[in-house]
Amino acid sequence: MTNQKMNKFFSLLLPRIGKRWYVSVILMTVIGFPNISAQQTGVKSNLLYDITTTVNLGLEVGLAPQWSIDLPVNYNPWDFAGDKKLKHWLIQPEIRYWLCEKFSGHFWGLHVHIGAYNLGGISQLGLKNFRYEGNLYGGGISYGYQWVLNPRWSLEATLGLGYAYLSHAQYPCEKCATKLTDSTRNYFGPTKAGVSLIYIMK
């Protein structure tokens, strides 16, 4: 991504999530957790997203003995048979507090999310006759548990609840169809689910 494209991306992103929130996270990370470079880092893949053919990669960095930040990125660019679509990208950073020590046992998380989607033709999701193309942003809380398998590998399960603001256009499912309506929706419910395999770098 070029600098010009990155600047355009953040100019669109920051007004939505709030510049004060963005600056607060940076200050908390830099001032409140000065020993980031000495902490553990985990690289992970969410197996639930893998099942949906969504390419995903997460990076979790230890900030302090009981704190970490999780940075997952998800991307699905595929078209399926019958003009079915589950196209989307989603970024969902999360600050985590571990009840004992990071990368082991129970944790609580606070996450935000921003993404875009192009979904349609999937009857199991109630999208048999229409396609929706738009974007979302919001946040939520999560709970999870991480099992240490050996010094390098771990398994994690997590579930999150929260809010998302959705803004999209509705189309008939046919390709190149004329747009029907523009609409918005306030969503409350599950915002995160994962069973992730993690490789720990120390």
Looking at the fold, whether 10 and 59 belong to one and the same domain comes out as: no
Per-residue pLDDT tens listing for the chain (202 residues)? 433 444 444 444 444 444 444 444 444 444 444 444 445 899 999 999 999 899 999 999 999 999 999 999 999 998 887 778 889 999 999 999 999 999 999 999 999 999 999 988 776 666 777 888 999 999 999 999 999 999 999 999 999 999 999 999 988 876 667 888 888 999 999 999 999 999 998 7
Q: Which of 42, 41, 39, 40 is nearest to 197 (CA)?
A: 42
User: What is the structure's pLDDT at 30?
Assistant: 40
Do 61 and 20 share a domain, yes or no? no
Number of domains in the chain: 2
Contacts of 32 (CB under 8 A, 6+ apart): 63, 64
One domain for residues 104 and 185? yes
16 and 102 inside one domain? no
User: Same domain for 19 and 63?
Assistant: no
Same domain, 66 and 139: yes
The predicted pLDDT at position 119 comes to: 87
Q: Which of 96, 105, 93 is nearest to 156 (CA)?
A: 105
Within this chain, do residues 5 and 64 fall inside the same structural domain, yes or no?
no
As a whole number of angstroms, the distance between CA 63 and CA 21 comes to: 19
Same domain for 43 and 122, yes or no, is yes
Q: How confident is the model over 62-104, as pLDDT tens digits?
A: 999 999 999 999 999 988 877 788 899 999 999 999 999 999 9
67 plus 125 within the same structural domain: yes
Domain that holds residue 113: 38-201
Same domain for 2 and 84, yes or no, is no
